[in-house]
Amino acid sequence: MICIGPEDRVFVLTGAGVSAESGIPTFRGVGGLWRNYRIQEVASPDAWARDPALVWEFYSMRRRVAAAARPNPAHAALADLEKKIGDRLFMCTQNVDNLHEQAGSRQVAHMHGELFVSRCDRCPRQPFADTSTYEPPAVVPQCECGGRIRPHICWFGEVPFDLDRIFAALVRCTVFTAIGTSGGVEPAASFVGQVCGRARTYYVGPESPANHLVFDECFQGEAGSVLPMLFTVE
């Protein structure tokens, strides 16, 4: 049980594991592969430059899987925590699905981007909502400027979104909880190291993450079972 006092500020970091019980596989769960490609081979600027149609095939598949998924009790518990403590909660997710929002979370920093948003790869036009799938024989969508429309995702080798806001929230937090993340993907894996010794630090998931030694306490179990009873708010 994590007790949240009236002065506490809570930083929650979620990873692919929080959506696993909703039917969205983790990268580890699929062995890091899509068809015979390593995920890095279809989720990188190099892949986009080499074969944008293949990249859109991969993200179209991910859009279809995510569109069919519904939030699970872990997403609901985090939305409930926001209702109770408002902006004393900072939610940061590595997930690109929208299950936190579907469960009712209002403020979510999507550091790796969002699956249902696209943007131009050339002009500064604002990213826009896009639920379409682009698979053969569909062609790669084009912007009015002549650039190509790409998924609004932070690919391997790109800089995550919202880092200023995220680091500001890390500095302020007194409770840090990571859920369903393997602790191997940077910079998220280092967040706990930024706050340990100053904030209380917790991990939730069925396996120990790679960085488990940095946490004060690990709650072993699936997020959908652990989260609904994890927080008590004073």
Q: Which 3-state string (H, E, C) describes 101-127? A: HHHCCCCEEECCEEEEEEEECCCCCCC
73 touches ligand NAD by CB under 6 A: no
Q: Number of residues in contact with ligand NAD, rule: CB under 6 A?
A: 26
Contact 151, 115 (CB under 8 A): yes
- Left, alpha or beta for 128 (phi > 0: left; psi -120 to 50: alpha)? beta
Span of 92-100, 130-138, 162-170, 195-203 interacting with ligand NAD by CB under 6 A: 92-100
Contact 186, 138 (CB under 8 A): no
Contact 57, 48 (CB under 8 A): no
User: Which of the following is catalytic: 75, 100, 110, 112?
Assistant: 112
Q: Which residues inside 166-205 make contact with ligand NAD, applying CB under 6 A?
A: 180-182, 185, 205
Here's the x/- map for ligand NAD, 126-145, by CB under 6 A: it reads as: --------------------
Q: How far is the CB of 15 from ligand NAD (least distance, A)?
A: 3
Encoding tokens for residue 97? 């699905």
* Residue closer to ligand NAD, measured from CB, 159 or 234: 159
Most distant pair of Cα atoms in the chain: their distance: 56
Residue 225 exposed, middle or buried by CB count within 10 Å (0-12, 13-18, 19+): middle
Q: Which residues inside 11-70 make contact with ligand NAD, applying CB under 6 A?
A: 15-21, 24, 26-28
* Residue closer to ligand NAD, measured from CB, 185 or 196: 185
Annotation says 100 is catalytic: no
Q: What are the start-end ranges of the H helices in the chain?
A: 17-20, 39-42, 45-50, 52-67, 73-85, 99-103, 163-172, 191-195, 223-226
* Residue closer to ligand NAD, measured from CB, 52 or 180: 180
Tell me how far apart the alpha carbons of residues 142 and 120 are, in angstroms, rounded to a whole number.
8
Q: How far is the CB of 86 from ligand NAD (least distance, A)?
A: 25
* Residue closer to ligand NAD, measured from CB, 16 or 103: 16
* Residue closer to ligand NAD, measured from CB, 156 or 233: 156
Q: Is the dihedral of CA 8, 95, 63, 78 positive or negative?
A: negative
Q: Which of 9, 75, 112, 150 binds ligand NAD (CB under 6 A)?
A: 112
Q: How far is the CB of 24 from ligand NAD (least distance, A)?
A: 4
Q: What is the set of active-site residues? A: 112
Positions touching ligand NAD (CB under 6 A) are: 15-21, 24, 26-28, 94-97, 112, 180-182, 185, 205-207, 209, 222-223
